[in-house]
Amino acid sequence: MTTTTIISAILTLISGIGIFLIACKMMSDNLEAASSNKLKQLFSKASGSKWLGVGIGTLGTAAIQSSGATTVMVIGFVNAGIISLTQAATIIYGANIGTTVTAQIVALGMFGSNSISTTIIFSAFAGIGAMVSLFGKKAKTKTIGGILAGFGMLFVGLSMMSSSMSDFAALDSVKMFLAQIGNPILLVVIGAILTAIIQSSSVMTSIAIAMVVTQLITLDQGIFLTMGSNIGSCVVAIIASISGSKNAKRTALIHLIFNISGVVLFLVAEGIISLATKGNITYGTMFASLFPSAPQTQLAMFHTVFNVITVLAIMPLTNNLVKLVTKIIPEKEDAENANQPHLYYIDYNMLKTPPIAVEQTKKEIINMAKIAKDNFDLSLDIITTLDFSEIDTFRKDEEELNYLNQSIVDFTTKLSNLRQINSEDHRYLATTYRTVRDLERIGDYAENIIEYAESLRDLGMRFSNEAIHEIQVSKNLISRLYGLIIKAYSDKDKEALDAANIVEDSIDDFTKGMEEKHICRLSDGLCSAAVGAQYLSLSSNVERIADHFINVAKTIKEI
């Protein structure tokens, strides 16, 4: 074989890897877009039992064809405090099982020799999908086309990798070199390093399958490379956790320990079996006898069995694993940082799974609405009692509202630019900019009320009992409105919106009545002009707060 042929084989391998990676990304993006609502429902159940967590991780990863995306999303959930470390661990277990689907698909595509191979048949989906995506008019049709094109490109990339492996297999020097690498631990390390570089265990496993099929390496060598790829896949999670909370880092560590434990377990078992049978029985001989004349299936099935058995072995030790990572990364939260404004439900790692990120954005906005409502209530309590003991809490929440206003906008801007977002979610995200602004304005009006309270305190004056009673009534009306707008916003409930509009109208009437009654009190000498100015401003602020709350609910008309 000439130098030109060798260079050509290397370039073909690189090209195949590139096409395979792009295909994985294309399939992942379009599968997420197609199954967005199901994904939302699936991960909304993430707080259930441990086995439910495994099921969610398995199905979610199988659906989006990316264990890396699932793991990064789980780190985002943990970072936002949505799920516990224990639940995160079980979802990661499931993700490891779900990722074996890719290897099974690759193995299926490598059958056929005398007739037309399945690789060629499946590769044709790339062209079919491209045409469907190009000529389709509906977004759903284009998404389906993207899935088909990505699926077909998987096999185009696989075909190129297999072709390059066949070229290498013709070189005796290459075969002799690879034959010398028989140490299982060394093969595991090589598999881990290559996967860490490529950042895709699916690609590494597919390369190993192609190498086994072309007889460039033995089945046992492929098995140990595949085991190493499980360790190398942890790099994605480790990178995602670097800027996260301690729990995010613990989640990445759980992923690493879990995969290393599985590899150690199987290496020890391999050593025992080899000693007991004097080397006559290995994992390779076992799976070769189970699936004769199908080396691609032999390695793919080992990959599946390896991950399933690892989950079964580690599952009972999950609580101990959580305790271990907590000791390794102890809780030493800086008091100052702990009190800093922060996001509660969203995390930038969630951008890996846009449909879930959209659902979490809604939860973040609902939480912001609660903070705004609580601060409004607190401002009325302070102005009616002139008790400023909770003023620090008020200031902290006001700072939080300002932070959330900017942070949610920044997050949704990045989220809305992702192509996996379907049309309904795009319409929803377009409304969030105004919504968070409305909620931030509610905080501003609450801050105005605090300023009125400070003026009354400085003047040594307070509202009359009649005025305080009216303020309490207005507070109750806002509470009724708040409950209805949250229901309307959360569930896209038009009946709740209609009811909210009625309450908002009554607030308009009531605040107008507050002004009229106040003028009467001024005429009767029951209230001073200085106090009256604060009261009139307060009633106006209450009316505007109701307007901003109703604006939040009205956004469901645009979705």
Best CA proximity match to 233, nearest among 260, 266, 210: 260
Here the tokens at position 289 are: 């006898």
Q: What is the dihedral of CA 59, 65, 71, 76, to 10 degrees?
A: -90
324 and 405: one domain?
A: no
Best CA proximity match to 59, nearest among 17, 80, 90, 18: 90
427 and 475: one domain?
A: yes
Query: Residue 403 to residues 360, 398, 410: CA-CA distances in angstroms?
Result: 17, 9, 11
* Residue 335, pLDDT above cutoff 70: no
In one-letter notation, the amino acid at residue 115 is: S
**CA-CA distance, 191 to 212, in Å (whole number)?**
14
**346 assigned to some structural domain:** no
237 and 303: one domain?
A: yes
* pLDDT (0 to 100) of residue 336: 47
Q: What's the CATH code of the domain at 470?
A: 1.20.58.220
Instruction: Provide the residue range defining the domain that includes 509.
Output: 351-558
Tell me: the pLDDT tens digits for 124-144?
888 998 898 888 878 778 888
**207 assigned to some structural domain:** yes
Contacts of 176 (CB under 8 A, 6+ apart): none
**CA-CA distance, 360 to 357, in Å (whole number)?**
5
* Residue 114, pLDDT above cutoff 60: no
**344 assigned to some structural domain:** no
Tell me: the pLDDT tens digits for 344-396?
888 887 887 787 788 889 999 999 999 999 999 999 999 999 999 999 999 99
* pLDDT (0 to 100) of residue 332: 66
Instruction: Check residues 403 and 527 and name the one with the higher pLDDT.
Output: 403
Instruction: Check residues 49 and 98 and name the one with the higher pLDDT.
Output: 98
Instruction: Check residues 528 and 542 and name the one with the higher pLDDT.
Output: 542
* pLDDT (0 to 100) of residue 317: 92
* pLDDT (0 to 100) of residue 333: 52
Tell me: the pLDDT tens digits for 429-483?
999 999 999 999 999 999 999 999 999 899 888 888 888 999 999 999 999 999 9
458 and 519: one domain?
A: yes
Could you count the other beta carbons within 10 Å of the beta carbon of residue 399?
A: 14
* pLDDT (0 to 100) of residue 538: 93
Phi, psi of 316 (to 5 degrees): -65, -20
- Give the residue carrying structure tokens 């490529």: 198
**CA-CA distance, 230 to 259, in Å (whole number)?**
6
* Residue 28, pLDDT above cutoff 80: no
- Give the residue carrying structure tokens 């605040």: 511
Last residue of a domain, one of 296, 328, 360: 328
**120 assigned to some structural domain:** yes
* Residue 110, pLDDT above cutoff 80: no
Percent of the chain predicted with pLDDT > 90: 43
**336 assigned to some structural domain:** no
**341 assigned to some structural domain:** no
**342 assigned to some structural domain:** no
Mean pLDDT of all residues belonging to the chain: 85
437 and 492: one domain?
A: yes
**CA-CA distance, 319 to 84, in Å (whole number)?**
11
Best CA proximity match to 448, nearest among 349, 552, 356, 539: 539
389 and 432: one domain?
A: yes
471 and 543: one domain?
A: yes
Tell me: the pLDDT tens digits for 194-226?
888 877 788 888 888 888 888 888 999 999 999
387 and 421: one domain?
A: yes
Provide the greatest CA pair distance for the chain: 108
Last residue of a domain, one of 276, 297, 328: 328
* pLDDT (0 to 100) of residue 409: 95
**422 assigned to some structural domain:** yes
- The total of structural domains in the chain comes to 2
293 and 371: one domain?
A: no
447 and 303: one domain?
A: no
Last residue of a domain, one of 328, 343, 371: 328
Tell me: the pLDDT tens digits for 253-266?
999 999 999 999 99
* pLDDT (0 to 100) of residue 112: 56
Query: Residue 540 to residues 48, 437, 472: CA-CA distances in angstroms?
Result: 46, 19, 15
362 and 449: one domain?
A: yes
320 and 389: one domain?
A: no
